[in-house]
């Protein structure tokens, strides 16, 4: 393993540093460096990572972390806080979920490979330099350009000590919905969990944009996450997203069986009853091909935006309480 590019032990107590790490040895002549902040408080432990911009078309977490890196006073902090606003700069500039060089999905590439594709190398760099060593990780995502989502948090179904800590942290965010998951291989949060790090993954916003509501939701939940770890006290003002009793949910997808024009009749956040019309698909001449109805009662958690659709693509995802 390569020597670490930075060491938090070299940073003084009550300090704020802007640092960067760089993917080494990539022969594609692409310089890839990731800026990040390290805030060391009155004590060095615990350690938490706040990270956003893993996907290049998700921005709500980016804006909140840029603010929090300046707003949190190290003198009021207990522990060491690492803040990465944009984990995947090239995808950010390309405004795409995937890395523009290898089309890799960074959040399916962890723990990475130092000799692999550029996404695998970036995952390896982030994992070694910025993920390992933490007690907790908040991996902040949004839905991409194709859908809107209601704020919720995912955590892995895992009975290990770190898995139980992650589940407790997920409930502490005060969101309406928490979704225990069997995550696919390659997620940063799953790889972190396997190293004993309590990692959770919220989803806020979408459409490749920033909104006031999304900013409020992410800022509030990030402070609640840090307060749960007793790293900061919640600020007296500004936490204006209401604390909600969290429902533990599972999901059901409503998928298209045909290609054509989608007309959608529900929005993210809508309650739906079993059999309620979710959308219709017609062919290019306007002949009706399909009606999509809710297979069960639930809440629309994710709603597709693009009205051109292909078979197998998701029109909506319903959350329902277990
Ligand atoms: Zn994402």
Distance 29 CA to ligand 1 centre (A): 27
Residue 241's pLDDT band (cuts 50, 70, 90): low
Distance 55 CA to ligand 1 centre (A): 5
Given this model, what pLDDT does residue 240 score?
A: 61
How many angstroms is it from 103 CA to the middle of ligand 1? Answer: 14
Determine the distance separating the centroid of ligand 1 and the alpha carbon of 9, expressed in angstroms.
Answer: 31
Overall average pLDDT of the 24-49 stretch: 91
Q: What is the mean pLDDT of residues 200-220?
A: 93
For the stretch 82-108, pLDDT in tens is 999 999 999 999 999 999 999 999 999
Query: For residue 205, how far is its CA from the centre of ligand 1 (angstroms)?
Result: 11
Summary count for the chain: helices (H), strands (E): 6, 17
Cα 75 to Cα 160: distance, rounded to the nearest angstrom: 33
Measure 184 CA to ligand 1 centroid, in angstroms: 13
Per-residue pLDDT averaged across 216-233, rounded?
94
Q: Where are the domains of the chain?
A: 8-228, 249-321
Residue with tokens 């051109």: 308
Beta-strand pair 47-51/80-84: parallel
Query: What single DSSP character describes residue 41?
Result: -
Confidence bin at 24 (pLDDT 50/70/90): confident
CATH of domain 249-321: 2.40.50.100
CATH 3.20.20.70 fits 8-228, yes or no: no
Distance 197 CA to ligand 1 centre (A): 20
Note the pLDDT tens digit of each residue in 280-320.
999 999 999 999 999 999 999 999 999 999 999 999 999 99
Mean local confidence (pLDDT), 216-240: 85
- Please report, rounded to a whole number, the percentage of residues in the chain having pLDDT higher than 70: 97
pTM: 0.95
Over residues 160-165, the mean pLDDT reads: 98
Rounded to the nearest angstrom, the distance between the alpha carbon of 74 and the centre of ligand 1 is 29
Calculate how far, in angstroms, residue 284's C-alpha sits from the geometric centre of ligand 1: 32
Query: Separation of 188 CA from ligand 1 center, angstroms?
Result: 11
């Amino acid at each position: 393993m390569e020597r670490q590019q930075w060491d938090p032990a070299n940073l003084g107590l009550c300090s704020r540093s802007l640092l960067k790490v760089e993917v080494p040895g990539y022969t594609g002549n692409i310089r890839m460096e990731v800026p990040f902040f390290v805030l060391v408080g009155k004590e060095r432990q615990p350690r938490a990572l706040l990270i956003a911009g893993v996907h290049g078309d998700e921005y709500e977490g980016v804006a909140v972390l840029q603010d929090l890196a300046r707003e949190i006073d190290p003198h009021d902090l207990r522990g060491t806080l690492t803040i990465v606003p944009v984990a995947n700069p090239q995808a950010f500039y390309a405004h795409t979920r995937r890395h523009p060089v290898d089309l890799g999905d960074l959040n399916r590439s962890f723990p990475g490979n130092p000799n692999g594709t550029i996404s695998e190398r970036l995952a390896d760099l982030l994992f070694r330099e910025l993920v390992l060593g933490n007690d907790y990780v908040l991996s902040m995502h949004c839905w991409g350009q194709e859908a809107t989502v209601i704020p919720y948090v995912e955590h892995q179904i895992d009975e290990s000590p770190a898995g139980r800590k992650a589940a407790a942290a997920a409930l502490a965010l005060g969101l309406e919905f928490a979704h225990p998951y069997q995550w696919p291989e390659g997620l940063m949060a799953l790889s972190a969990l396997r190293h004993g790090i309590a990692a959770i993954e919220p989803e806020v916003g979408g459409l490749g944009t920033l909104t006031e509501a999304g900013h409020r939701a992410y800022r509030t939940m990030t402070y609640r996450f840090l307060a749960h770890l007793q790293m900061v006290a919640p600020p007296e003002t500004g936490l204006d997203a209401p604390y909600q009793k969290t429902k533990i949910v599972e999901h059901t997808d409503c998928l298209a069986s045909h290609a054509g024009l989608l007309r959608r009749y529900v929005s993210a956040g809508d309650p739906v009853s079993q059999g309620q019309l979710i959308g219709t698909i017609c062919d290019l001449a306007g002949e009706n091909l399909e009606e999509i109805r809710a297979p069960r009662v639930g809440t629309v958690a994710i709603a597709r935006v693009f009205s051109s659709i292909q078979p197998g693509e998701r029109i909506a995802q319903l959350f329902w309480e277990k």
